[in-house]
Amino acid sequence: MSFPVHRPRRLRRSPAVRRLVAQTRLHPADLVLPVFVREGIAEPVPISSMPGVVQHTLDSLVAEAERAVAAGLGGLMVFGVPEAKDGRGSGADDPGGILNVALTRLAEAVGDRIVVMADLCLDEFTDHGHCGVLDHSGAVDNDATLERYAAMALAQAAAGAEVLGLSGMMDGQVGHVRAALDAAGFTDTLILAYAAKYTSGLYGPFREAVQSSLVGDRATYQQDPANATEAIREIELDVAEGADIIMVKPGQPHLDIIAAAAEISPVPVAAYQISGEYSQIVAAADNGWIDRERVATESLIHLRRAGAQIILSYFALELAECW
């Protein structure tokens, strides 16, 4: 009888051996927890399409941040849900607006123990739900939007955010915001550029979370899921304009883009496991079809193995507390 000369199964023979030779590892410090803070509520409000995720009050947000610190998470990405909206997203750069007030509370409470990140986009604050201001024809005005982003950046930096997550996919947004921050003396504020942000049907639960007013879609500024070369161009432009971190979003559907980004990027690469990705796993687990913790962990390992050094996930705190 002829026996195999090579026996790769030896490296899989026990949990201890598999742990020893594992090539990809997750650590809580790799993870960032996205959180929502809502104006005008007295207690946290569950998000029906994202079981286990809530819209926080200011007080419950700080309590969640303390849990994140205790679990060793790397950061928090904060999204604001205002009571009032208008065409230019005035609440976005209002120092008394819910997002900026929340950033200050977090910076004071945990800012020296975890990275406080701010979502820098207008969609939560505009009554039309788009990520920028509209021109007379109803289209998103790229250059007018850049001015709003600069104002928002200054407000968030002043509020205490250490990292600004530019998620609007406007041309030139990184360079414009970097120049505004530097001119105002915020030279140490980091920019996390959503460099390859694809339009996707998986954003649905997030729109409930931020009470989005969007009618239509964002296909004129977010990337076409059919395209890859375009993502590389966007990444290279954002790095050239001064991005400190670049991100691919959604994560799981675009593992090839994460891998390509990791190959070319001189700055850290992040990935965002978005609301629809989270909710799919939760729904399947709630039906008894899959093991929630196992599949959630596996999904983050895929992102890490593809090349993401930083992972934004709604599972971040839950999993970190299990490890």
Q: Smallest Cα–Cα separation from 62: which of 101, 110, 112?
A: 110
Catalytic member of 56, 197, 218, 302 = 197
Give the active site residue among 56, 105, 218, 249. Answer: 249
Quick check: is 85 catalytic? no
Distance CA 67, CA 84 (A): 30
Place of tokens 């990292």: 163
Dihedral in degrees, nearest 10, Cα atoms 262, 264, 269, 272: -80
Residues tagged active-site: 197, 249
